[in-house]
Each structure stands twice: as C-alpha cells, then as structure tokens.
C-alpha cells in the first residue's frame, strides 16, 4: 500500500471553546496519538480529508505533515461526522510503525450476483460488513472483495471461504457467516411465525405493571 499525504497544523486551542474556534475557521479538529507518545491536537482541512478517504479509503496509510514537527505515519482510527451533512467534525489519527503489525477492520465488498437473485427466486443477505485483521500498516487492504456469484439457494459464504491477501491475518472466527442466499418463499413463510410470537410481549410487560 502506498501512503497518501495530508497537511495538518498543530493547534493550541483546547476544550469546547477551542474546538469551536477551529471549526469557525473552516477546519476540522483532530488528535494524533499512539503508544508511548503524548497526544497532539491538530487541525485539518475537512474537504481535503474527505476527498482523501473517498479515494484512498478510511484505512489508508497517511503521511501527516505537522509543520516544524515533521511528517508522521498515521492511519485513521475514528471519524465523527456532522449529523446533518457528510462532513467530518473530528478525526482520530493513530501513529504507526511500518515494522509493527496492528489490528484494523477492513470493509467487505460483495461482488457478483447469485443466479437465484438474478432470477428473483432468492434474496442475498450480508451478515458481515467488516473483517477484523492484523497486518503491517503497509499491507492494510482498502477492502476485501467477496465473490457471491456462485451462491445457490440455501448457500452461504463464511470467513474461512474468503480470499485473504498475503501478509494479512484474520482475527474473526472462521465459521462466521459473511453472506447467504435464502429463497423468497422461505422468507414469506417466516412472517406468520413472527406474528405468532407477539403475545409473549404481554408477559414481558408484567414487571413494569407491578
């Protein structure tokens, strides 16, 4: 994986008022932290950052430039988004060493269309959307593709069936289901069973009535 560049400025503003001042300048507050080092408060351009993660992915290896403090190798640990628009309002950057493995979550991307789905006789469901893995920072995959085109009715794919890139160790249990295809008739037959279970809710309410 090649790294991408991002500029940041060290900020001295702290607390809620300091964060508001940073946002008032059109910047996004962020923090850089890692093992054995003191956390550093920084500010980044939210539009530049959003473009970066849109093209390189949220697991991208980033060369974060901090002015006189030099450039640090980081990955994104957490992004907080504005609830009203797709714009980051806070970012956590984690310092990494290129020779030390780290744990990350990688998106699972379904590709292909099962024949039953194409024939409208089956429904594809995705049970897992991310996979926990361990690898060196330079080996973090942007995503892991899951080919579901060969699935038939009643078939499922599990973690053990995935094609994992070299140098990446999966941490999730191999028997976990990733995706499955169920018949539409089976889905319809399950609906009355859900309705029959509704009277049990009455028993759940009894403690509250006392």
196 pLDDT more than 80: no
CB-hemisphere CA count at 13 Å for 153? 11
- Per-residue pLDDT at 186: 53
Give the confidence band of 187 by pLDDT, cuts at 50, 70, 90.
Answer: low
**Average pLDDT over every residue of 151-178:** 97
Of residues 208, 162, 207, 155, the one with CA closest to residue 183: 155
Distance in angstroms (rounded) separating the CA atoms of residues 191 and 174: 30
**pLDDT, the chain, mean:** 88
Place of tokens 């039953």: 116
**Average pLDDT over every residue of 87-96:** 96
Phi, psi of 65 (to 5 degrees): -90, 125
86 pLDDT more than 50: yes
Give the confidence band of 3 by pLDDT, cuts at 50, 70, 90.
Answer: confident
Radius of gyration of the chain (CA): 23
Give the confidence band of 16 by pLDDT, cuts at 50, 70, 90.
Answer: confident
Check: CB of residue 93 under 8 Å from CB of residue 37: no
- Per-residue pLDDT at 17: 82
Check: CB of residue 160 under 8 Å from CB of residue 98: no
Give the confidence band of 2 by pLDDT, cuts at 50, 70, 90.
Answer: confident
Tokens matching residue 8 = 């940041």
Q: Residue 39, SS3?
A: strand
Distance in angstroms (rounded) separating the CA atoms of residues 27 and 86: 15
**Tens digit of each residue's pLDDT (9 = 90 or more) over 96-147:** 999 999 999 999 999 999 999 999 999 999 999 999 999 999 999 999 999 9
pTM of the model: 0.78
Of residues 59, 139, 143, 72, the one with CA closest to residue 100: 139
Domains defined along the chain, listed by start? 4-96 (2.40.240.10), 103-199 (2.170.120.20)
Of residues 19, 16, 93, the one with CA closest to residue 60: 93
Distance in angstroms (rounded) separating the CA atoms of residues 200 and 150: 40
More confident: 188 or 149: 149
Distance in angstroms (rounded) separating the CA atoms of residues 131 and 165: 13
- Per-residue pLDDT at 68: 84
**Average pLDDT over every residue of 45-60:** 94
- Per-residue pLDDT at 15: 77
- Per-residue pLDDT at 192: 54
Give the confidence band of 151 by pLDDT, cuts at 50, 70, 90.
Answer: very high
């Amino acid at each position: 994986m090649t790294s991408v560049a991002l500029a940041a400025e060290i900020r001295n503003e702290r607390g809620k008022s300091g964060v508001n001042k940073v946002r008032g300048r059109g910047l996004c507050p962020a923090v850089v932290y890692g093992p054995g080092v003191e956390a550093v408060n920084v500010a980044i351009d939210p539009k530049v950052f959003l473009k970066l993660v849109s093209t390189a992915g949220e697991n991208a290896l980033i060369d974060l430039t901090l002015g006189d403090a030099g450039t640090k190798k980081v990955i994104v640990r957490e992004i907080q988004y504005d609830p009203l628009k797709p714009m980051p309002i806070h970012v956590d950057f984690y310092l990494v060493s290129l020779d030390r493995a780290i744990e990350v979550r990688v998106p699972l991307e379904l590709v292909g269309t099962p024949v039953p789905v194409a024939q409208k006789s089956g429904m594809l469901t995705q049970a897992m959307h991310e996979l926990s893995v361990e690898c060196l920072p330079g080996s973090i995959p942007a995503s892991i593709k899951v080919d579901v085109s060969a699935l038939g009715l009643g078939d499922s794919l599990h973690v053990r069936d995935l094609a994992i890139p070299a140098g990446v160790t999966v941490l999730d249990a191999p028997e976990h289901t990733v995706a499955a295809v169920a018949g539409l008739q089976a889905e319809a037959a399950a609906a009355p069973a859900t309705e029959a279970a509704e009277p049990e809710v009455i028993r759940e309410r009894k403690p509250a009535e006392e």
